[in-house]
Amino acid sequence: MNVRRMSSIGAAAVAVLALAGCGGTADGGEQPAAASSASAAATTTTTTAAPAPTAPGTTTTTPPAPAPDSAPTTLADVQYERNESYYFTSPDGGFRCGIVKLPSRTEAGCEGATDPVPPRPENCMVNWGNGIRVQDAGPAEFMCSGGSVYTSGGDDPVLPSGSRLSKLGYTCETTDADVTCANDATGHGFTIAAGSNTTF
């Protein structure tokens, strides 16, 4: 008896599933095709809400799109480095300058015509007063040199007016008229221009 009841329940379940799979209903009727299409369309249709109307006399503004990054050029964008040293030209083109790493020391200096120039020391047998430098120790001093020191040998880039170059423990800054370089640790340095100069 239990076997017959289980068989009847199983047969009824198969019949319901067969009717549902064929588009029929549990009571044996056919599901209308229009209803089937409508339910399919309802699942694939998307609606877009229309913008709300604005009241008379009001304006609607859309925030502007963010502007692309237009940061000013920084010193990191310009190459001053040559062979572990850094070279540049003053904005007026009158001075060649550098922060130079040498085997025995590091120094910063600028060379070019400046005035006034102190008297030549007795121990200087070559060019005197054609520039000023500051080294690892001591105050800045005028140069006694046999040739150009602060050049990479080519056209060194201009350090724009108002810019700062800090490398190897020295900082150099420019204006339209002069260049100032200082040793970051000692505070000693110089300012040089065509018609003036100062050592400190």
| Residue with more model confidence, 145 or 27 | 145
Closest to 84 measured CA to CA, from 99, 69, 63: 99
Taking 50 as the threshold, does the pLDDT of residue 63 lie above it?
no
Q: Could you read off the pLDDT of 11-23 as tens digits, one per residue? A: 444 343 343 444 4
SS3 (DSSP) at 129:
strand
Full-model pTM: 0.61
Taking 70 as the threshold, does the pLDDT of residue 152 lie above it?
yes
Written as six digits, the tokens of 96 are 């060649």
Q: Quote the CA–CA distance of 190 and 200 in Å, as a whole number.
A: 6
Three-class DSSP labels, 48-72: CCCCCCCCCCCCCCCCCCCCCCCCC
Q: Could you read off the pLDDT of 101-142 as tens digits, one per residue? A: 999 999 999 999 999 999 999 999 999 999 999 999 999 999
Sign of the alpha-carbon dihedral angle for 143, 145, 147, 153 = negative
Using DSSP, how many helices (H) and how many strands (E) does the chain show?
2, 11
Range ranked top by mean pLDDT from 53-62, 67-76, 153-162: 153-162
